[in-house]
Structure formats: structure tokens, C-alpha cells
Chain A
Amino acid sequence: MAEVILSGLHKAFGQTKAIQDVSLTIGDGEFIVLLGPTGAGKTTLLRLVAGLEQPDAGTVAIGGWDATTTPPSDRDVAFVFQQYSLYPHLTVYENLAFPLRSPIRAMKEADIDAKVREIAALVRIDDKLNNQATRLSGGQMQRVAIARALVRSPSIYLMDEPLSSLDAKLRGDLRVELKRIQTVLGATILYVTHDQIEAMTLATRIGVMDRGQLVQVGTPREIYTDPVNMYVASRLGMPAINFLPLSVFPGLSAPSAAKTIGLRTEHLKIARSDSASAMGKVTWVEHLGDQDYLHIDVQNHDVVTLSDPDSGLKTGDMVRLTPALPLYFDGAGNRVRA
């Protein structure tokens, strides 16, 4: 395991600026999760670390030495590809043994066998070891791809949406397993996901990407409670944060530059109210099983919050909303601190 330092990375594909001035230090044993919409450049960043792409500018340092021009095979990184990239002509067993058979390692066949079986059991693919890699379901292929990375102990694991095609139960199990492996082995991991829960539970730090740029890096808590702009704020939280023009709440003592107010469930006090003091109307209560989403119409803005089960609010009720320590943003969408 090693520390990986990216500094000033740029990468363009023709006119598309896939990565713009990204600097990030992934500490030894750190689990960094990259969040961002499709096309933000997450895969490209991983490929730059692996050496599958060459940066236009900037450097990649792995374990203290400059690896910017080092070919992938000499970087000692493990990659779980978004599209699995299994060796189609080999069995699952041979796919897992492939990285271990590298002459650089000179591993004994018995050790290889033990390792393959151990990891296969870990990701629960041990009953498919003799299957052709192409004769698997999507979820099984994905587990083989994860296992092929886990058999190794590289300087860094690069994982591109590794749990995306698994069912909820298995995804939860493997999430816990990954976290355990990372803590036990002290593995350094750079991980891409679209799943908030994965980001919140796995990451030591989250990096939020937008159009090739790393907008904010911080602990899951920081990203959630202290986002630098509206874009980052909207990445985390279920239901998503509500943005309203400040004019909706005229009496509020907001910072002078503030134009928009960001409200999560915990930023709102909702009370049933009638007559003149009412500001909104409950338009819909969405039952999601363990929790209810409350949709409130506030001057034609749809505000969605988690409903307090004891509130007894129902469709058609008139309510009064009081912001409590909300987030403020200026006209450009950047955070304004009170």
C-alpha cells in the first residue's frame, strides 16, 4: 500500500476537457470515493492513476516516486473496470489466477490456488470457479472483476462503480466486506460510485467532481454539512436538498450576498397552521416504507422533506415553515457563510 499524490492533472480528448487541474492526495490506507454525474471525468481520473491514459499536464506520484510516465504494468495498481473487462476465453478461476501468475511475482501454484479460493469465497463466486467468464450474469461478472483486483495487494485499488449491478442485499454485504478488507489490510482505495450510501459509509473522504474538476474534497460529514456550493450540496442527502429563493422567507436575517437558501429536512421546522401565517400546503405524502416524504408547495416551489411520523400531516394541510440554521448561497451558487 502506498500514498498516491495527483497534482495539477489535465486531460483533454479533442475538444472535451475530461480532467481540469485536479490535485488530490490519497493517503496511505485512505478510502476516497469520487462522486459526480455521468461524464464528470471519474473514469478518466482513475485511468490516469493507472497509467492507461497519459495526462496532458501534471504528475502522478505513487509511493513517493514520480510515476507519470511509468507504464501501467510497472505501477502495481489494481483496477476494477466499469465494464468488468474479464478475460473471455478463460474460466473464472483462470481470470482470478491471471494477475498472480505474473512472473514478477513468482508465486507458487499452491499459494495461487489458496489465494484464488479464499477471495472467490469472499465475494461468493466460489461455486462458479470453473465457469467460462462469459457464461455469468452481470452481477457475477462484476464479482469476478472485484475478486481479480482483491487477489492482489497493489499500491492502490482503483474501483469504478464496482457494486453497480448487484442486488441491494449483496451490495450491502459486499460494501461491509470492502470496508472490512480496507481496514484490515490498510488498503488505499480510490472508488467511484453514484450511490450515496456507499459514499457515506465507505469513504474516509469524498471527492465531488463536476465537468472535469474536483470541486470539493472532505469527509462525508463535511461534504454533507458544509458544502462549498449548491452543486456539492445537491450531491448528498435523501431527499435532496431544497433550494428556494431567499425572498420566500422575508423575515430571515441572512448574509447580505445570499440569494438562495438551501434547506434539508433538519433545517426545517414544520408546524400545522391555518389562516394568514400559513406559507405552504402539503400536496402529497410519499410512503417509502420505513419513512415518508412530505411534498409541500411553497409559492409554487416543491419542497420535499422527511416527515416526522408524529406530526400527523396529510395531503391538503396548511403549514408554516421556519428555517433553522440553513445553508446560504450567492447568485453564482457559491456558499455564503453566515
Chain B
Amino acid sequence: MTGNHIPDALANRLATATPPKLAARVRGLSDKAIAWLFITPTMILLLAINIFPLIWTIRLSFTDFRANRTNAVVKGIGLDNYTSILTDPDIWAAMQSTAHFVFWTITMQTLIGFTLAYLLDRKFRGHGFWTTIILIPMMLSPAVVGNFWRFLYQPQIGLFNYIISFFTGVDPSSFEMIGSVTLAPWSIIIVDTWMWTPYVMLICLAGLRSIPDYIYEAAEVDRASTWRQFWSITIPMALPFIMLAVLFRGIENFKMFDMVNLLTSGGPGSTTEVASITLKREAFEKWRTGFSSAFAIILFVTVFGLANIYVKALNQVKSR
């Protein structure tokens, strides 16, 4: 078992790094015992807050357990929860909203984030100042951002409607971002993009900075135009970073809850009801704990599977 080698190696390193006095005090314990002593608390913590709930959720997903009726007899109902989820059109609608939301936020954040990073990488005067300014939205609490944008989206007094009307000439009170069936999904996409583009930008900037100047010098001498340098050097060399940003944002937005809950709570109707909102409703409004456990497992497997495929692709790009 390779598992045994890690504590061994760790223990050896600890033993050599331990000053003599301490070594004397813990004498009587073997190196291996010391290693386990250090590792065990973390292991217990991990088991208690990660592994155990996961296993418990899997168990619950095969039952009709309801958390608000703890005295009722819990029946095992096999795969019933799973089949009813996969045949429920509301669930599929929620998955579709989620996919729509993930797709557009990632597309917009990557495009804008990369463009900003590319501009900031020109190292013009004051680029440090602008980097800081751009990063501010990301540092705010989602609760603040949500309430702040609800205010901006106000049709009568909101700045957002006013600015749109200023540029397009439409009457500011003629449309409602949060209240309209067609615009509500976009109101969330806009806020999420506003808040998280800086994050994507930061990762892209790290990618661009990792390309050494001499590569561009070589390309310049080889008579490559700026356009060609961009497509044959900048993009391929920054690609692993861009893909990493997409992965982080993708996983994050797949389970996006706070912003949607604050802005639209899934409404109007169920137009912005993404998977996590549905999950919350099933679990804590309808109290179908078994059912929502099954749904959580399905979501988990989906994200996990997609992320795995994606990481494989990422590694392929990176090892090129």
C-alpha cells in the first residue's frame, strides 16, 4: 500500500526536523506513531464534515425521509426518488436554466476578463491602480451586491434603467429587469458577470504574465505580426489559465444560489429557478428530504463528471 509510505516519509522528515529537546520529550513514541498523532485530527474532521454527510445523503436518497417529521417511519423506496426526478419536467426546466446561466456567465466573463487582462498586461501608466479598481466587485459580500443591484434595477429610480434609456432612448420605466420573464435571467447574468469578471481577469493576467518576453522577441524577429503573435503565442500559452478560470467559474455557477436568491428568488414564476433554488425548495420548503437528497446526488455526480472530463482536457492542453 502506498498509503503507508506517505506517513513514513512524513515521519522521517519530522524526525530530522525536530530539535533535540522536543525529540527527547516525545521519546517512547515511534516515528510512525508521531506521524499518526499529527494526521488523525485532520482525518477525523474530514470524515465528520465531508465524508459522513455524503454517505448519509446517499443513504437518505433511497428513502422517503422527511426532516420535519422525524417521528414518522422511514421507508426504503429504492430508486423511486431518482426515477421521479429524471422524469420531472420542472427539474429539467431547472437544469436548463442552470445550463443557460452557466453558459452565458462563463462566455461573458471569459471574454471580458481576458480582454481586460490583455489590456492591463500592456503595463501602461497606472495599470496597478486600475487593476485594484477592477478587483473591487469581487471583494464585496454577495449580500451587499445583491441588495445593491436590486436597487440599481429599480425601474423608477434605478440607475441601470436610467443608463439604458440614456443610450437607447427607451423609457426607463417601460421595462423591469427583475420582474420581466425575458429579462430576469439576464439580470442575474449581468450581476454575476459584474462581480466575477475580475476573478477571471486575475487568472488570465497571471497566465499572460507567465509568457516570457523573449518568446515575443523571438516571434518579432521571426517576422510575426502582432495579430499572429496573439493567436499563435498568447492564446495557446495562456490557454491552460483561461481553462482553469472557466473550470472554477463553471463549478461555482453550477451551484450558484446566493445571487439568484437575493435578486429574484427564482421568479418571476420559475424563470430563474436554477437547480440550487429547486433543491432548496424541495429540501426546506416542501421538506422532501429523501427526494432532495437524490437530487443533490444527481447534481454532485453531474458536476463531478463534467469537471473530470474537463480536467482531462485541461491536462492535455497543459502537457502540450
List A residues at the B interface (Cβ < 8 Å).
Answer: 50, 52, 71-74, 76-79, 81, 83, 85-89, 98-99, 102-105, 132, 148, 152
Min CB–CB distance A233 → chain B (angstroms): 35
Which of chain B's residues have a CB closer than 8 A to the CB of A81?
214, 217-218
Instruction: Kindly identify which residue among A78, A86, A105 contacts B221, using a CB–CB cutoff of 8 Å.
Output: A78
Is B224 at the interface (CB under 8 A from chain A)? yes
- What's the Cα separation between A99 and B228 when bound, in Å? 11
- What's the Cα separation between A253 and B220 when bound, in Å? 59
Which of chain A's residues have a CB closer than 8 A to the CB of B236?
89
Which of chain A's residues have a CB closer than 8 A to the CB of B132?
none
Report the count of interface residues on B (CB-CB < 8 A).
17
Contact: B214 with A99, CB < 8 Å?
no
Which of chain A's residues have a CB closer than 8 A to the CB of B223?
73-74, 76, 99, 102, 104-105
Contact: B221 with A50, CB < 8 Å?
yes
Known: A87-B233, A89-B236, A89-B237. A102 touches B217 (CB 8 A): no
With A81-B214, A85-B218, A87-B218 given, can you name 18 additional A-B contacts, CB distance below 8 Å?
Answer: A52-B220, A52-B221, A72-B221, A73-B225, A79-B217, A81-B217, A81-B218, A85-B215, A85-B217, A87-B219, A88-B215, A89-B236, A98-B222, A102-B222, A103-B228, A104-B223, A105-B223, A148-B222
Is B312 at the interface (CB under 8 A from chain A)? no
Which of chain B's residues have a CB closer than 8 A to the CB of A89?
233, 236-237, 320
Contact: A83 with B214, CB < 8 Å?
yes
- What's the Cα separation between A76 and B221 when bound, in Å? 7
- What's the Cα separation between A78 and B237 when bound, in Å? 23
Min CB–CB distance A247 → chain B (angstroms): 52
Min CB–CB distance B319 → chain A (angstroms): 8
Contact: B221 with A79, CB < 8 Å?
yes
Known: A87-B233, A89-B320, A132-B320. A72 touches B220 (CB 8 A): yes
Min CB–CB distance B194 → chain A (angstroms): 33
The secondary structure that dominates the B interface is helix
Q: Which of B220, B222, B225 has the most CB of A within 10 A?
A: B222
Q: Which of A73, A78, A132 has the most CB of B within 10 A?
A: A73
Min CB–CB distance B60 → chain A (angstroms): 48
Contact: B218 with A102, CB < 8 Å?
no
The closest CB in chain A to the CB of B232 belongs to A98
Q: Which of B215, B220, B232, B233 has the most CB of A within 10 A?
A: B220
Which of chain B's residues have a CB closer than 8 A to the CB of A76?
223
Which of chain A's residues have a CB closer than 8 A to the CB of B225?
73, 103
Chain A to chain B: the 3 pairs with minimum beta-carbon distance, closest first:
A99-B222, A85-B218, A72-B220
The closest CB in chain B to the CB of A100 belongs to B222
Contact: A98 with B217, CB < 8 Å?
no
Min CB–CB distance A142 → chain B (angstroms): 14
- What's the Cα separation between A132 and B236 when bound, in Å? 14
Min CB–CB distance B315 → chain A (angstroms): 14
Min CB–CB distance A60 → chain B (angstroms): 14
Which B residues from 219 to 260 make CB contacts under 8 A with A? Answer: 219-225, 228, 232-233, 236-237
The closest CB in chain B to the CB of A104 belongs to B223
Which of chain A's residues have a CB closer than 8 A to the CB of B233?
87, 89
Which B residues from 255 to 297 make CB contacts under 8 A with A? Answer: none
Known: A102-B222, A148-B222. A52 touches B215 (CB 8 A): no
- Provide a sorted-by-A list of 25 A–B residue pairs whose CB atoms are within 8 angstroms: A50-B221, A52-B217, A71-B220, A72-B220, A72-B221, A74-B223, A77-B221, A79-B218, A81-B217, A81-B218, A83-B214, A85-B214, A85-B217, A85-B218, A87-B218, A87-B233, A88-B215, A89-B320, A98-B219, A99-B222, A102-B224, A102-B228, A103-B228, A104-B223, A105-B223
Which of chain A's residues have a CB closer than 8 A to the CB of B218?
79, 81, 85-87
Min CB–CB distance B102 → chain A (angstroms): 28
- What's the Cα separation between A85 and B233 when bound, in Å? 13
The closest CB in chain B to the CB of A78 belongs to B221
- What's the Cα separation between A148 and B320 when bound, in Å? 20
- What's the Cα separation between A74 and B223 when bound, in Å? 7
Which of chain A's residues have a CB closer than 8 A to the CB of B221?
50, 52, 72-73, 77-79
- What's the Cα separation between A151 and B79 when bound, in Å? 66
Min CB–CB distance B145 → chain A (angstroms): 38
The closest CB in chain B to the CB of A71 belongs to B220
Which of chain B's residues have a CB closer than 8 A to the CB of A71?
220
0/1 string, B159-193, CB within 8 A of A gives 1: 00000000000000000000000000000000000
Contact: B224 with A98, CB < 8 Å?
yes
The closest CB in chain B to the CB of A151 belongs to B222
